[in-house]
Amino acid sequence: MSVNKYTAPAMAKEKEMRALSIIPVSDENKVKEALKHLKHLVRKFRPLMLAMESCTKCGHCAENCHTYLGTRDSNNIPTNRADLFRKAWKATHTLEGRVFGKLVGAEPLTLDTINKMYAYFYQCNECRRCALVCPFGIDTCEVTFAGRQLLHWLGMVPSLHASVGEAMYRTGNHTGLPKPGLVDTCEFLEEEILEESGVDIKIPIDKPDSDVLYIPSSADFLLNPETMMGAARFFHYLGINWTMSSAIAEAGNFGLLFDQRYTLRFNTMRLLDEVIKLNIKKVVWGECGHGWRAGKMYVPSMTDRPVPVPIVHLHDETAHYIRTGQLKLHPEVNNKPITLHDPCNFSRACNLGAKLREVLNPCVTDFREMTPNHERNFCCGGGSAILFDDPGMYDLRIKFSAKKAEQIRATGIGENGDGYLVAPCSICKAQFYPILEEHDLGVQVKGLIDLVGNALYPPINI
Amino acid sequence: MTFFILQVLPYIAVMIFIVGMVWRLCRWLKTRNVHNVVLTPTPKTSCGVAVRYVKEIFLFRSLFNGDKSLWAGAWIMHVTLAGIIGGHIVGFAFLGQQFIYMGVSADTSVFLSKLLGTTFGVILAVALLYLLYRRLSINEAKLTSYFADYMHLILLLGIVSAGNFMRLVPGYSVGFEVPKIYMIQLATFQPVTIDPLMNTAFIIHLLLVQILLIIFPFSKLVHLVGIFVNRLTVDRSYVEPAPGMPVANAGVSVGNAASSGKKTT
């Protein structure tokens, strides 16, 4: 393995890559292989081709990218990040690049550039704010997707992503929990709910002949138990015949983040198999940003069979039941000052921005919007699971979230140290747990369904 | 040399432009929209998408929402440029008498034609200078610019300056008739009868335009077509599946699976 002079996450070892059925390419062959993949990818994907050939380098994306705002590193300007790819494309596949070279921004691919790609494509949160502000709609997220795909084929994947991918193959969830672990956790959470709200609510796993398959983020079993309990309360309240599946107890799909071929498809097919096995009528996705993007936008284009049932998001449903007046909510139990962080994938890729507010408003008493919001919101800084703990990368996570901290501070919710930041996305939550402390904001992270659950079944001991 | 610029190069330049653009467009259209990468919130109907599309392409909506000064520079630059190109076609074809059809006299029409052309020309030059100044002065624009990005602006400035020079400096105007005859001769493959030494500004203007046409398909200037293709990728309608979950003892309807998005692979 080459030593990377750029700040980059720890890379998966050969053994870890082999677990993903990839044999890492040796340094001598990397450039040759990369050029082959580059050609294949750019010729296939239209958004990528247009990012390569129709950017005017106006620089409008710079001030709109929180990674650039946080680091002022010119490689983190979206169009310059795309240049890591574009330079090589121009040098090998365009007339102007071959004739004028550097004058038009063409540069032959080198091993150094590949190392630089590994560093900077894993410093991109894939939040698509650059696509939103680009006058042409050029989506640098697509370039990052392609870049990470190419790196995956070269065997260059962060240890974090590779181990999550491997856990998913093995167990059907990212945390690597086997079925007994899931069942135990659910029983424990059932007791918690009974204790907190005095209601006996079941959290079923693999219950045959269920109507609704709930796809939780596996982090909700361990890190965000309140989100799991909130969802259980919601389904119980409506009398839904629901279950989760031990084979796909995972809303996330890291295939979207590092391998949009086999890994993305494998997880997708796993879901469809389970739908048939449990005789499901509707799939409801839990609070996970990139996972919902994969579920909503990539399932239709990745599956090898027609999708047999509708797939919707939990908050499509909560919004619907609130709109039709079927939920009796007690907003007074959520009386802390609250702001909402729009997960990038929800607001810019999945059309959920307005619905999140439809759900949040009737559940709380003191809701304050942060600015900008909805689809103009800034990313938490952990997007696309760059939740690395390596010292250099952790430092970058703090810098990437600087803009977010500024937004939260401006709402004033943390002034008394008891504010709630609602972030209905597992990666956002995982980023915020440590990062809110780092910025000393006096704010706690909550999921959205947590608050709905509380408002449906008010705690008995308050 | 002037013979080459006046009689030979125009054919080469136009051929390269047309063939180059067709080749570029084919290269783009051979790629696919594999996944649905729509930017939300998105319009629900095709009509809504059409409105969004027009706003993005003709009003630069995204730029307007983000950076007003860049929007002003870019929008004014593009609109005046389009106006001038249109003015060249109409003005020379009708010899400046196009406004007669709006009910004014022939003299007024020529006056209006010249006034509009000159005004647009000056505004365009100012807008281009602003864009160049922006690239040279704003740090982020400097960090993203290559040599070619400055040169494109300078080339356009050269064309516009030569044009404005002919408009504004007495004695250098070519009038309406000379270019019209020249264009007709070119288009009908006749030897051109224009006096090669008559007007250096005209020759420079013409030469720079031909250089622009030649580099156009091989530079970022293809964003002219790119915006139409790319906007079709990210601005699309999306119909949400019906909400409502099946309840064991009640008849809440379940949405239709087929409505949740087309298969695109």
- Identify the pLDDT of residue B264: 40
Of the candidates B31, B141, B215, which has its C-beta nearest A59's C-beta?
A: B141
User: Is there a single domain that holds both residue A427 and residue A393?
Assistant: yes
What phi, psi does A200 have (nearest 5°)? -90, 105
- Inform me whether the C-beta atom of residue B137 falls under 8 Å from chain A C-beta atoms: no
Residue A462's nearest CA partner among A197, A167, A178 is: A197
**Chain A hits for B264, Cβ within 8 Å:** 300-301
Nearest residue in chain B measured CA to CA from A72:
B140
Residue B142 lies in a domain: yes
Helices and strands counted in chain B (H then E): 11, 0
Helix axes A225-238, A314-323, angle to 10 degrees: 50
**Chain A hits for B263, Cβ within 8 Å:** 300-301, 306
* Interface test with chain B among A38, A43, A56, by most B beta carbons within 10 Å: A56
Cα maximum dimension of chain B: 93
Q: How many domains does chain B have?
A: 1
CATH of the domain at B174: 1.20.950.20
Q: What's at B153, amino acid-wise?
A: L
**Which of A217-231, B141-155, B169-183 has the lowest average pLDDT?**
B169-183
Residue A104's nearest CA partner among B152, B222, B24 is: B152
Q: Given a cut of 70, is residue B252 above it in pLDDT?
A: no
Residue B105 lies in a domain: yes
Q: Given a cut of 80, is residue B118 above it in pLDDT?
A: yes
Could you read off the pLDDT of A439-452 as tens digits, one per residue? 999 999 999 999 99
- Termini Cα distance of chain A: 57
Q: Given a cut of 60, is residue A225 above it in pLDDT?
A: yes
Residue A431 lies in a domain: yes
Give the mean model confidence (pLDDT) for residues A194-199: 92
**Chain B hits for A317, Cβ within 8 Å:** 243-245
Residue A2 lies in a domain: no
**Chain A hits for B218, Cβ within 8 Å:** 94-96
User: Is there a single domain that holds both residue A418 and residue A351?
Assistant: yes
Distance of CA A175 to the CA centre of its chain: 15
- Inform me whether the C-beta atom of residue B229 falls under 8 Å from chain A C-beta atoms: yes
Rounded to the nearest angstrom, the minimum Cα separation between B58 and chain A is 11
- Inform me whether the C-beta atom of residue B227 falls under 8 Å from chain A C-beta atoms: yes
Q: Which residues of A4-26 are buried (b: 16+ CB within 10 A; e: fewer)?
A: bebbbbebbeeebbebbebebbe
Rounded to the nearest angstrom, the minimum Cα separation between A139 and chain B is 8
CATH of the domain at A198: 3.40.50
Could you read off the pLDDT of A68-78 as tens digits, one per residue? 999 999 999 99
- Identify the pLDDT of residue A226: 95
Residue A200 lies in a domain: yes
Of the candidates A240, A352, A353, which has its C-beta nearest B245's C-beta?
A: A240
User: Is there a single domain that holds both residue A211 and residue A306?
Assistant: yes
Contact A49 B27 (CB under 8 A): yes
Please say whether the beta carbons of B109 and B97 come within 8 A. yes
User: Is there a single domain that holds both residue A194 and residue A248?
Assistant: yes
Q: Given a cut of 50, is residue A317 above it in pLDDT?
A: yes
Q: Which residues of B181-190 are buried (b: 16+ CB within 10 A; e: fewer)?
A: ebbebbeeee
Q: Tell me the C-alpha distance between A313 and A202, whole Å.
A: 21
Please say whether the beta carbons of A1 and A115 come within 8 A. no
- Identify the pLDDT of residue B197: 63
Q: Given a cut of 90, is residue B253 above it in pLDDT?
A: no
Contact B249 A239 (CB under 8 A): yes
Contact A300 B263 (CB under 8 A): yes
Residue A204 lies in a domain: yes
Residue at which a domain ends, from A274, A298, A322: A322
Q: Given a cut of 60, is residue A59 above it in pLDDT?
A: yes
User: Is there a single domain that holds both residue A132 and residue A201?
Assistant: no
Contact A135 B60 (CB under 8 A): yes
User: Is there a single domain that holds both residue A397 and residue A445?
Assistant: yes
**Chain A hits for B222, Cβ within 8 Å:** 53-54
- Identify the pLDDT of residue B102: 87
Contact B74 A58 (CB under 8 A): yes
Q: How many domains does chain A have?
A: 3
**Structural domain span for residue B109:** 2-233
Element (H, E) at A243: strand A242-243
CATH of the domain at A83: 1.10.1060
Residue B222 CB partners (closer than 8 Å, separation 6+): A53, A54, B21, B24, B216
Of the candidates A80, A137, A284, which has its C-beta nearest B144's C-beta?
A: A80
**Structural domain span for residue A92:** 14-157
- Backbone torsion region of residue A390, taken as left when φ is above 0, otherwise alpha when ψ lies between -120 and 50, otherwise beta: beta
Bridge partners of A290, per DSSP, are none
With cut-offs at 50, 70 and 90, classify the pLDDT of residue B196.
low
Q: Given a cut of 80, is residue B194 above it in pLDDT?
A: no
Residue A90 CB partners (closer than 8 Å, separation 6+): A52, A96, A97, A104, A105, A106, A107
With cut-offs at 50, 70 and 90, classify the pLDDT of residue A128.
very high
- Identify the pLDDT of residue B247: 78
Nearest residue in chain B measured CA to CA from A307:
B257
What phi, psi does B173 have (nearest 5°)? -65, 140
* Interface test with chain B among A58, A278, A315, by most B beta carbons within 10 Å: A58
Residue B34 lies in a domain: yes
Q: DSSP readout, A282-345?
A: EEEE-S-HHHHHIIIIIHHHH-SS---S-EEEHHHHHHHHHHTT-----GGG--SEEEE---HI
Contact B229 A50 (CB under 8 A): yes
**Chain A hits for B225, Cβ within 8 Å:** 54
- Inform me whether the C-beta atom of residue B144 falls under 8 Å from chain A C-beta atoms: yes
Q: Given a cut of 80, is residue B256 above it in pLDDT?
A: no
What is chain B's mean pLDDT, rounded? 89
Of the candidates A60, A307, A375, which has its C-beta nearest B70's C-beta?
A: A60
Classified as helix, coil or strand, B223 is helix
- Identify the pLDDT of residue B195: 74
Residue A163 lies in a domain: no
Q: Tell me the C-alpha distance between B219 and A143, whole Å.
A: 20
Size of the A and B interface in Cβ pairs below 8 Å: 238
User: Is there a single domain that holds both residue A140 and residue A282?
Assistant: no
Residue at which a domain ends, from A123, A157, A191: A157
Nearest residue in chain A measured CA to CA from B240:
A312
Strand order in the sheet with A443-446: A366-367, A337-340, A419-422, A443-446
Residues 96-135, chain A, touching B (beta carbon < 8 A): 96, 100, 102-105, 128, 131-135
Could you read off the pLDDT of A148-162 as tens digits, one per residue? 999 999 999 999 999
Q: Tell me the C-alpha distance between B258 and B177, whole Å.
A: 62
Q: Which residues of A113-133 are buried (b: 16+ CB within 10 A; e: fewer)?
A: bbbbbbbbbbbbbbbbbbbbb
Q: What's at B254, amino acid-wise?
A: V
Predicted ipTM?
Answer: 0.89
Q: Given a cut of 70, is residue B130 above it in pLDDT?
A: yes
User: Is there a single domain that holds both residue A315 and residue A335?
Assistant: no
Residues 289-318, chain A, touching B (beta carbon < 8 A): 296-298, 300-302, 306-312, 316-317
Three-point CA angle A154, A158, A160, nearest 5°? 140
Give the mean model confidence (pLDDT) for residues B97-101: 88
User: Is there a single domain that holds both residue A352 and residue A291?
Assistant: no
Contact B255 A282 (CB under 8 A): yes
- Inform me whether the C-beta atom of residue B148 falls under 8 Å from chain A C-beta atoms: yes
Residue A3 lies in a domain: no
User: Is there a single domain that holds both residue A291 and residue A373?
Assistant: no
Classified as helix, coil or strand, A215 is strand
Element (H, E) at A446: strand A443-446
Contact B245 A284 (CB under 8 A): yes
- Inform me whether the C-beta atom of residue A69 falls under 8 Å from chain B C-beta atoms: no
Residues 164-203, chain B, touching A (beta carbon < 8 A): none
Could you read off the pLDDT of A76-95 as tens digits, one per residue? 999 999 999 999 999 999 99
**Chain A hits for B254, Cβ within 8 Å:** 281-282, 310
Of the candidates A102, A139, A320, which has its C-beta nearest B243's C-beta?
A: A320
Enter the tokens of residue B243: 């909400």
Distance of CA A447 to the CA centre of its chain: 14
Residues 205-244, chain A, touching B (beta carbon < 8 A): 211-212, 238-242
Residue A213's nearest CA partner among A281, A267, A303, A265 is: A281
Classified as helix, coil or strand, B21 is helix
- Identify the pLDDT of residue B193: 84
Bridge partners of A340, per DSSP, are A422
Of the candidates A44, A62, A139, which has its C-beta nearest B234's C-beta?
A: A139
Of the candidates A49, A62, A281, which has its C-beta nearest B144's C-beta?
A: A62
Q: Tell me the C-alpha distance between A70 and A138, whole Å.
A: 22
Q: DSSP readout, A43-84?
A: HHBHHHHHHHHS-----TTGGG-HHHHHH--GGGSHHHHHHH
- Identify the pLDDT of residue A4: 67
Residues 28-67, chain B, touching A (beta carbon < 8 A): 28, 30-42, 56, 60, 62-63, 65-67
Q: Given a cut of 70, is residue B255 above it in pLDDT?
A: no
Contact A96 B218 (CB under 8 A): yes
User: Is there a single domain that holds both residue A212 and residue A145?
Assistant: no
Contact A77 B143 (CB under 8 A): yes
Q: Tell me the C-alpha distance between A200 and B100, whole Å.
A: 85
Q: Tell me the C-alpha distance between B1 and A448, whole Å.
A: 73
User: Among residues of chain A, what percentage have pLDDT more than 70?
Assistant: 99
Contact A317 B243 (CB under 8 A): yes
Q: Given a cut of 90, is residue B175 above it in pLDDT?
A: no
With cut-offs at 50, 70 and 90, classify the pLDDT of residue B257.
very low
Residue A6 lies in a domain: no
Q: Tell me the C-alpha distance between A408 and B149, whole Å.
A: 38
Residue at which a domain ends, from A291, A322, A353: A322
Contact B39 A375 (CB under 8 A): yes
Contact B32 A44 (CB under 8 A): yes
Please say whether the beta carbons of A376 and A63 come within 8 A. no
Half-sphere exposure of A177 (CA within 13 A, CB side): 23
Element (H, E) at A212: strand A212-215
Q: Given a cut of 60, is residue B265 above it in pLDDT?
A: no
User: Is there a single domain that holds both residue A137 and residue A247?
Assistant: no
